[in-house]
Amino acid sequence: MDNTVRNETAAAPDSTEQRIFDAAHEVFVQKGLDGAKMQEIADKAGINKALLHYYFRTKEKLFEMVAKAIINRAFPTVQQLIEADIPLEQKIERFIDFYIDTISRNPFVPLFIIGEINKHPDQFFDKIIPSQPPRPELFFKQVEEAVAEGRIRPVTPRHLLVNVLAMCIFPIVARPLIRIVMGMSTPEINQFLKERKEEVKGFVFAALRP
């Protein structure tokens, strides 16, 4: 480690890593992994590039740290929603609100998750989330009970959960493609994504109507 890094590290407050996290998060949201530059992250964090590399040797390691931190913050809420003792309709509504809000603020996270699942399908939860995965069986049981009571049309619980997830995630992951294919400006695509929560909820509840 050169003298510049040594001196700045010694003088750095405890908040240095948080500043790096905040700066990296902002850049990754705007540009993704491929478009992000370590120099830009260092500049936003108010440190030199050598110090940034002292904390995180590569951009990929920094990207992984930021994505994991966001997932670990969001995951307990997702788990609580799926396992909550609340009516099915309310659970679906809250899940859609939280999920779209979270991935809209962190659009690079779904791509990170997809990449990690493809690389380590059997180790994803052990590698990324240091806790028990959610228990969808509770959600599935609620769906089956609602079908039996005639409150919703017959539907396979697994397909319902995957359909909701897909409608929430796809517009974020495919944002560049949607913008080009539909000829949307940046403000228009942003407004389109803001409307997704109500659109998804309306579509799901209309599809479940008996």
Last residue of a domain, one of 13, 38, 57: 57
Whether residues 35 and 110 fall in one domain: no
| CATH number of 2's domain | 1.10.10.60
Span 145-200, pLDDT tens digits: 999 999 999 999 999 999 999 999 999 888 888 989 999 998 898 899 889 999 99
Whether residues 151 and 201 fall in one domain: yes
Handedness of CA 23, 26, 32, 36 (dihedral sign): negative
pTM exceeds cut of 0.75: yes
Contacts 24+ apart (CB under 8 A), 134-143: 134/78, 134/79, 134/82, 134/83, 135/82, 135/83, 136/82, 136/161, 138/82, 138/83, 139/82, 139/83, 139/88, 139/91, 142/88, 142/91, 143/88
Split into its structural domains, the chain has a count of: 2
**Parent domain of 115:** 65-208
Span 71-86, pLDDT tens digits: 888 888 888 888 888 9
Whether residues 180 and 96 fall in one domain: yes
